[in-house]
Amino acid sequence: MHEPDYDSLRKIMVEEQLRKRGITDPGVLAAFLSVPRHLFVDADWKTQAYEDRPLPIGAEQTISQPYMAALMTQWLCPSPEHRLLEIGTGSGYQAAVLSLLAHTVFTVERIDVLYHNASKRLTELGYRGITPLLGDGSTGHESGALYDGILVTAGAPEIPEALLAQLKEGGMLVAPVGDRQHQRLIRIRRHRNGFHREEGTPCRFVPLLGAQGWQQP
Ligand code: SAM
């Protein structure tokens, strides 16, 4: 079968789905232009990889809609010296994007097969500075802390206390928070004397399952 021109599809995705909806950070736009999203989905979904929606990645999980991934990235304000933590590796796509914008990315996934697939994919594609980890990311990754930024890519009932504790002063955490069906993006900034909380756009993510997330699948 004739393969689509993925580079052109990716350019259109960045223009139509990201730039036109308010993703303006040049570094974020460049990262989304660079990462080959079609190589982060199963072969059956490859031709749909640049559509404006999440897609299945197996184990009943999804790769997030490009716009949502970009919005979260822009809100996190990553910079080249940053040490980041992502909870919910999934396909590895968001970790690949973050690795182009920061120095170090730790990414935690609870599902074995997704962890293995993403680790292999990120290595084969040559992404550097990423440490994939298998486990319950709702309690963070203590031995890598403190972080300049923490990005949670699964919906939580509340921001896990463990993640707040692993945030550097001046650091930011972005997470979808709400009930099982509907969440809102929340951004927390750590100050010397506490935390500042902002509410962002409504969204819908698969659940964060774990000790400091939802208890039931
Ligand atoms: N960032 C991913 C990507 O770029 O493909 C998409 C993430 S997907 C929307 C959410 C992921 O969070 C799923 O892979 C799910 O297994 C994972 N997850 C849910 N609860 C978790 C937990 N407590 N720790 C680590 N990963 C978790």
pLDDT tens series, the chain, 217 aa = 688 999 999 999 999 999 999 999 999 999 999 999 999 998 999 999 999 999 999 999 999 999 999 999 999 999 999 999 999 999 999 999 999 999 999 999 999 999 999 999 999 999 999 999 999 999 999 999 999 999 999 999 999 999 999 999 999 999 999 999 999 999 999 999 999 999 999 999 999 999 999 998 7
Angle between helices 66-76 and 26-34 (to 10 degrees): 140
From the CB of 139, is ligand 1 less than 6 Å away? no
Map out the domains of the chain as residue ranges. Answer: 6-203
Per the annotation, the verdict on 79 as an active-site residue is: no
For residue 85 the two structure tokens come to 């933590």
The 10 Å Cβ neighbour count of residue 98 is 28
Contact 110, 210 (CB under 8 A): yes
Catalytic residue among 8, 64, 99, 138: 64
Strand-pairing partners, residue 151, are: 86, 174
98 lines ligand 1 (CB under 6 A): no
> Which residue carries 């993640």 as its tokens?
163
Residues in the chain: 217
pLDDT at 74: 98
Ligand 1 center from residue 206 Cα (angstroms): 8
> Which of 32, 65, 110 has most ligand 1 atoms within 8 Å of its beta carbon, as the pocket-test mutant?
110
**Options 3.40.50.150, 3.40.50.300, 3.60.150.10, 2.40.160.20; which CATH number does 6-203 get?**
3.40.50.150
Q: How far apart are CA 88 and CA 160, in angstroms?
A: 14
Q: Ligand 1 in contact with 176 (CB < 6 A)?
A: no
- Output the CA 109–ligand 1 centroid distance in Å: 6
Residue to mutate (ligand 1; options 45, 57, 61; most atoms within 8 A of CB): 61
Amino acid (1-letter code) at residue 37: R
**Cα 1 to middle of ligand 1, angstroms:** 32
Question: Is the shortest distance between the CB of 37 and ligand 1 below 6 Å?
Answer: no
